[in-house]
Chains A and B, each alone.
Chain A
């Protein structure tokens, strides 16, 4: 795939945007991935995506065909311009059998050119409506002519793209003025060739005007070419040419130089300057061309091409099974009853009123208190142990491991899931989590105080 110019890139992006606007979103997963990995700012990524989609769906090929066609058409137009320019010169000078009427010659060389130049300039000034009409005509034509649905959006896309920067008038200006420049130049060359190889006599004729008018006109027209060094026929020469073509060399040469100068200054130069001006505007405008990211079609692409977040995947997989805490009742010689609480916050009054035979081991919330109690339990294992838990906390693995460890050092263990403090409610889901966890540990649990069980050993 040959490298596309920036303009062609923009053109393809606009084509894809129009296509998605008309025919719905395209399957762009891979294109988006390619664009994302290519990096760059959003317009770069949009263009990369459009290039990929256009390549896949044939718009790039259609664009190249279109360009080929345009180039061919340009060549045909250029050849036509050269031929008609030469024809103009032929028509103006004739075959040399009869003297050349200078003002008729001038009229046929410059007349059409000047009229069309004027109409083009007026069109440029009052362009708004005309451009739109021309654009609509082009849209309509391209819809009628496009056989291939893939290429249907190419012409409208170019038109829209250029219209946004008002560039189409300058592109058209380059074309029109360039072709006229070619025609005028060819006329000039043909004029010089004919004058070099044939003898022409020059006359002017009139029925109602005086000779002074022609003298003034000739001198006025010749003033600008004179600045470039083209000679102007003298007053006597002009007056003499009113009667018959002068058969002297200096008069022929003066008239010929005058004619060439006028054609150069009023025919070739304006078109040259206008073509250069249009080309300059076209080039600068082209550099300023960009995608209009506010268009909904492009705005939607932002999140897909430039995601603010993306998943990186799992870097450390979950184990097949979490470590399970095992519970086994102690078969040690044990005696007494003990109540212990795990991680209670200070909103709760603790401990509750206890029977005399039941000892209180306080609240376990730190490493030190855990160590102390576990040491004590291993030396004096209790017969009955009640563990109070606040089911508003998560039944995490640490708490469950502690409960299991405590239970292993007592002959019988029960878990007391405390009620919510006044004014609060327990989360049913979390309470369910506690039930499941304690069932897995095979520990009996209840939501009321097991004080009579602690005291007597039975309910």
Chain B
């Protein structure tokens, strides 16, 4: 199981808060005890993984992440990270953000999501189709994530 192609695909399940990321994982894993589900926002505050296997062979590692709640402010912050006269590309900007102190304070939850996205092969962006399409839900997070890891 050391060959790279035999490693399961890593997929970070991301999205706005309260869209049902943990519920989706519960459904996919058929594990009703996975994580915690409630009506409150910010119910999941950690990153938790689950592995899906077919015939005993692990195929997919899914990671449940906290909700993306402060996208607009984070994007502002990321843009302010550039020093005058400097041009940072996405990964470098993200690396600087994750090293900084705000990644442990105001944007602690967002940093968790971005770290997991960086460690994953792909992200699965979950949208609650019952909610109206607000700018913060679809515009800023994919933009922020895109800039960061080009995924």
In the complex, A155→B133 CA distance in Å? 68
Complexed CA–CA distance, A305 and B34 (Å): 19
Q: Is A162 an interface residue, CB under 8 A from the partner?
A: no
Among A45, A316, A323, max chain B CB count under 10 A is at A316
Complex Cα distance, B116 from A37, in Å, reads 26
Residues of A within 8 A of B115 (CB): 316
Residue-wise interface mask of A (212-242) relative to B, using a CB-CB cutoff of 8 A (1 in contact, 0 not): 0000000000000000000000000000000
Segment with Cβ contacts to B, from A62-70, A76-84, A140-148, A390-398: A390-398
Contact of A206 with B by CB under 8 A: no
Instruction: Kindly state the separation between the CA atoms of A236 and B112 in the bound complex, as whole angstroms.
Output: 110
Q: In the complex, A398→B18 CA distance in Å?
A: 13
A319, A365, A401: the one within 8 Å of B73 (CB): A401
Q: Cβ of A312 and Cβ of B50 under 8 Å apart? A: yes
B48 to A45, Cβ gap below 8 A? no
B40 at the A/B interface (Cβ < 8 Å)? Answer: yes
Scoring A residues 353 to 392 as 1 if CB is less than 8 Å from chain B, else 0, what string do you get? 0000000000001110010000000000000000000000
Question: Is residue B41 contacting chain A, with contact meaning CB distance below 8 A?
Answer: yes
When chains A and B are docked, how far (Å) is the Cα of A311 from the Cα of B46?
14
Q: A345-B132, A396-B17, A396-B69 are in contact. Are A318 and B56 (CB under 8 A)?
A: no
B129 contacts partner chain A, Cβ-Cβ < 8 Å: no
Q: Does A317 lie at the interface of the complex (its beta carbon under 8 Å from any beta carbon of B)?
A: yes
CB of A370 within 8 A of CB of B72, answer yes
Partner of B49, one of A315, A317, A367, A370: A315
With an 8 A cutoff between CB atoms, is A307 at the interface?
yes
Q: Contacts of A123 on B, CB cut-off 8 Å?
A: none
Closest-by-CB residue of B relative to A319 is B108
CA distance A402 to B115 in the complex (A): 25
Q: Which of B50, B53, B69, B106 gathers most chain A CB within 10 Å? A: B69
Nearest chain B residue, comparing its CB with the CB of A437: B41
Asked if B131 CB lies within 8 Å of chain A CBs, one says yes
Is the beta-carbon distance between A312 and B41 smaller than 8 angstroms? no
Residues of A within 8 A of B47 (CB): 314-316
Chain A residue nearest in CB terms to B140:
A367
The answer to whether B135 touches A366, judged by C-beta atoms less than 8 angstroms apart, is yes
A309 touching B31, Cβ below 8 Å = yes
Nearest-neighbour CB distance to chain A for B21, whole angstroms, equals 13
- Residues of A with C-beta under 8 A to B107: 323
> Across the interface, do B16 and A311 meet the contact criterion of CB distance under 8 Å?
no
Question: Cβ of B4 < 8 Å from any Cβ of A?
Answer: no
A167 to B28, CA, bound (A): 44
Known: A308-B30, A343-B134, A345-B134. A394 touches B41 (CB 8 A): yes
In contact, B56 and A39 (Cβ under 8 angstroms) = yes
Cβ-based interface call for B52 (8 A)? yes
A427 within 8 A of B: yes
B14 → chain A, closest Cβ, in Å? 13
Question: Which residue of B has the minimal Cβ distance to A312?
Answer: B49
A423 within 8 A of B: no
Contact B46 A318 (CB under 8 A): yes
Looking at A309, A323, A367, A427, which has the most chain B CB atoms within 10 Å of its CB?
A309
Residues 74-113 of B contacting A (Cβ, < 8 Å): 75-76, 105-109, 112
Given A367-B140, A398-B73, are A322 and B53 neighbors across the interface (CB < 8 Å)?
no
Residues of A within 8 A of B51 (CB): 309-312
Is there contact, CB below 8 Å, between B49 and A313? yes
Contact of B70 among A42, A308, A309, A397 (CB under 8 A): A397
Nearest Cβ on chain B to A49's Cβ, whole angstroms: 13
Contact partner of B56 (CB less than 8 A), chosen from A41, A366, A367, A402, is A41
Q: B71 to chain A: closest CB distance in Å?
A: 6
Q: Are B16 and A309 in contact (CB under 8 A)?
A: no
Q: Return chain A residues, CB-CB under 8 Å to B69.
A: 396-399
**B48 with A313: CB separation less than 8 A:** yes
For the A-B complex with A312-B50, A433-B41 known, give 9 more contacts whose Cβ atoms are closer than 8 Å: A40-B56, A309-B29, A309-B31, A323-B106, A366-B139, A394-B16, A398-B70, A398-B72, A433-B39
Q: Which 6 A-B pairs have the closest CB atoms?
A: A312-B49, A309-B29, A318-B45, A316-B47, A396-B69, A345-B132
